[in-house]
């Protein structure tokens, strides 16, 4: 399986680590210390930097919100071009979805 993953030119969500083995008590029961080290360091990929425009957009949300409803309403008021600003629209909708999932 390891060889198949290493030789594959495509990346699938299954190749990603979904849990944080360092930040989870559960990880300590599932993985040995050596396995955790391997999971967190083996062929680690650096995430690309956000474009400055998107980073600036995200800073709009960097406030102390009273609750999720307040953040939801702020995000809902943001307007974006559905094609030219798809990345901002996706961020806005993701925030709103999280606010609905965790409303307190």
Query: Is 35 inside any structural domain?
Result: yes
- Looking at the fold, whether 62 and 28 belong to one and the same domain comes out as no
- Tally the domains of the chain: 2
User: Domain of 10?
Assistant: 2-41
Question: Do residue 64 and residue 96 come from a single domain?
Answer: yes
Percent of the chain with pLDDT over 90: 47
Give 74-91 pLDDT, tens digit per residue. Answer: 999 999 998 999 999 999
Dihedrals phi, psi of 97, to nearest 5 degrees: -65, -45
Tell me if 40 sits within 8 A of 22, measured CB to CB.
yes
Whether 47 maps to a domain, the answer reads no
CA within 13 Å, CB half, 43: 6
- Same structural domain, 8 and 35: yes
Please report whether residue 87 resides in a domain: yes
For residue 56, tell me if it sits in a domain.
yes
**CB of 68 within 8 A of CB of 99?**
yes
**86 and 63 housed in the same domain:** yes
pLDDT in tens, 26-55: 667 788 888 888 877 877 777 788 899 999
Are both 34 and 56 inside the same structural domain? no
């Amino acid at each position: 399986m390891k060889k198949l993953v290493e030789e594959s030119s495509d990346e699938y969500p299954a190749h990603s680590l979904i849990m944080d083995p360092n930040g989870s008590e559960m990880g300590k029961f599932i993985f040995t210390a050596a396995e955790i080290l391997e999971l967190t360091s083996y062929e680690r990929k650096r995430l690309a930097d956000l474009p400055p425009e998107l980073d600036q957009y995200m800073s709009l949300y960097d406030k102390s919100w009273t609750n999720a409803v307040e953040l939801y309403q702020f995000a809902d008021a943001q307007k974006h071009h559905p094609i030219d600003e798809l990345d901002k629209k996706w961020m806005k909708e993701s925030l709103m979805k999280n606010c609905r999932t965790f409303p307190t």
